Amino acid sequence: MSGHTDGPPRVESLDGIVLGFVGTGTITASIVTGLCAAPESSNRIWLSPRNADVAARLASTCSQATVARSNQEVLDRSNIVFLALRPQIAHDVLRGLHFRQDHRVISLIATFSRDRIAALVAPVTSISCAVPQPTVAARLGPTVIFPPDPVARTLFARLGVAVEVNSESELRALWASTAAMASYFSTLDTLASWLIRNGVHARTARDYIAAMFRGLSHVPLASKAPFGELADEFKTKGGLNEQFARDLARSGVFDAWSAGLDTILTRIEKSDNAPDAPPAARDETGSSR
């Protein structure tokens, strides 16, 4: 037990609060990078020393960030604690820490339900689960939050779009959809590679495809129309888009996306319901994304 009873004051607003990160990997780096670039953000940040290279880099580039001597020091100095751990090691790391009742915990641990987190951070009662994406580093990412929480919403709104949901089933479904990120880039690579095979210079192919999809990403944000309607708008009767979309549908591409996401969602649900593995059985090489 740390024995600290005079920690940072309770969080009533974001003014003067201190943020702490237990776990210093890709998602922590993305969040901290985004927060340090946000003009409205001046909160102190304490970083876990677990990943020394990443922590040192963040501290050197962000004047608000300091590397703690231990994960317990992160807790002792913080009001809001982000749990940014791989699920394979989360139990081992958290069981050795002592939380204060007045902490706010925001869990970023993949597949861990709010109830499962609550059992690991007692006596904390203010607990949210969040699903930020690496694009929050550029303050462009959507972050899902469950349950709705005004402090978490304000923090993640600084990094893009905060999406609050009212059920854990919504959280899991949205979480599952993030599995499509790598496939999105594989799709762009397929298009660019096809252009290269047809005589387009590699740099031109990459820049052209990137710019085309950047432009397309603005269309649904501006119109708010359902994606199906937008697809129909781009399918000129008898045109190239109509033909290509029809060929992809016939080959089962879109059905494969849905089936793949069903598998991801099942994996998330099974992982959440699985008991914590004993320390000897843990695999520390996994990723939370």
Location of structure tokens 């059985």: 281
Which tokens hold the place of 117? Answer: 């987190």
The residues of the chain that CATH labels 3.40.50.720 are 18-166
Which two tokens mark 7? Answer: 């920690």
The fold for domain 180-270 equals: ProC C-terminal domain-like fold (1.10.3730)
Assign domain 18-166 one CATH number from 3.40.50.720, 3.60.15.10, 1.20.58.390, 3.40.50.300: 3.40.50.720
Q: 């600290």: which residue's tokens?
A: 4
Using pLDDT thresholds of 50, 70 and 90, give the confidence band for residue 38: confident
Residues with Cβ < 8 Å from 145, sequence gap 6 or more?
Answer: 128, 129, 130, 152, 153, 156, 162, 163, 164, 165
Token match 């992160």: residue?
A: 74
Which tens digits make up the pLDDT trace of 107-165? 999 889 999 999 999 999 999 999 999 999 999 989 999 999 999 999 999 999 999 99
Written as one letter, the residue type at 252 is: G
What does pLDDT average to over the chain? 89
Which of 79, 128, 129, 73 is closest to 97 using CA atoms? 73
Retrieve residue 3's tokens.
Answer: 């024995």
Whole-structure pTM value: 0.84
CA dihedral angle for residue 284, residue 114, residue 157, residue 286, rounded to 10 degrees: 10
Residues of the chain with CATH 1.10.3730.10: 180-270
Could you read off the pLDDT of 51-83 as tens digits, one per residue? 899 999 999 999 999 999 999 999 999 999 999
How far is the CA of 161 from the CAs of 131, 140, 176, 227, 265, in angstroms?
Answer: 12, 7, 18, 19, 23
d(CA 35, CA 140): 12
